[in-house]
Amino acid sequence: MVDPQLREVLGGAALYVLCFMAILFLRILPLNLGFMGWPGPDLALCLTFAWVLRRPDRLPALLIAVMFLVEDILLMRPIGLGAAIVLVATETARLREARWRDQPFMVEWLRVGLLLGAMMLGYRFVQILFLLPVPALGQVILQFIATLAAYPLVVVTAQWLFGLRRVSPAEADMNRYR
């Protein structure tokens, strides 16, 4: 018989992988036939932050690294760079989740925005440092704005579809003693 806590972790991880793969599949579809206009939000990153800040016990760090490594490979970006930066940012958020738990959503949104900005600056810095091709700054800023604007929508959608809600203090205490 499977332990109920292990079943919850595996179920949450499987649901995350399914959602991530669906977002990645839609991202690699050739939907733009000509004009490349505004960059869209990084929904996978929004989903990851929403999951880590709501259910940090159900999303292992290794799974985040593997999923973003797969995304780096499929989107032909520098292999492992995006995965490493996302892993550092999500683990930073995970370490502070207990302190952020009682804060209103606007504070969480601001903190996620700061993490997104730091990630994009770090990614750009490493690209420049190692003489990799660097996208236009305007496109990067537009994607940052789009991702930040999409974060509340992703949180509401994840809460509505999957019941992804913040861990209550009682649940956190129970998980700590298991």
In a domain, 63, yes or no: yes
Is the pLDDT assigned to residue 56 strictly greater than 70? yes
Q: What percent of the chain has pLDDT over 70?
A: 90
In a 3-state reduction of DSSP, which class is residue 77? coil
Selection from 86-90, 98-102, 163-167, 170-174 with the highest mean pLDDT: 86-90
> CA-CA distance, 151 to 106, in Å (whole number)?
11
Is 84 or 8 the better-scoring residue by pLDDT?
A: 84
For the chain, how many residues are written? Answer: 178
pLDDT at 5: 78
pLDDT for 29-55, tens place per residue?
A: 877 665 667 788 999 999 999 999 988
Total number of domains in the chain: 1
User: What mean pLDDT comes out for the span 144-161?
Assistant: 94
In a domain, 34, yes or no: no
Is the pLDDT assigned to residue 146 strictly greater than 70? yes
In a domain, 139, yes or no: yes
Helices (H), 29-136: 43-54, 61-74, 81-100, 105-129
CB count in 10 Å sphere of residue 114: 11
In a domain, 51, yes or no: yes
pTM greater than 0.85? yes
pLDDT for 90-134, tens place per residue?
A: 999 999 887 878 888 999 999 999 999 999 999 999 999 999 999
In a domain, 175, yes or no: no
Contact of 48 with 83, CB cutoff 8 Å: no
Lowest mean pLDDT among 55-64, 70-79, 162-171: 162-171
Nearest alpha carbon to residue 97 among 78, 77, 115: 115
Q: Which residues span the domain enclosing 124?
A: 4-26+40-164
pLDDT at 30: 77
Give residue for tokens 């999303």.
59
In a domain, 35, yes or no: no
User: What mean pLDDT comes out for the span 157-178?
Assistant: 72
In a domain, 126, yes or no: yes
> CA-CA distance, 87 to 64, in Å (whole number)?
7
What average pLDDT does the structure give for the chain? 88
In a domain, 174, yes or no: no
> CA-CA distance, 85 to 68, in Å (whole number)?
10
CB burial string 139-176: b at 16+ within 10 A, e below: ebebbbebbbebbbebbebbeeebebebbeeeeeeeee
Both tokens assigned to 19: 């959602």
> CA-CA distance, 108 to 156, in Å (whole number)?
14
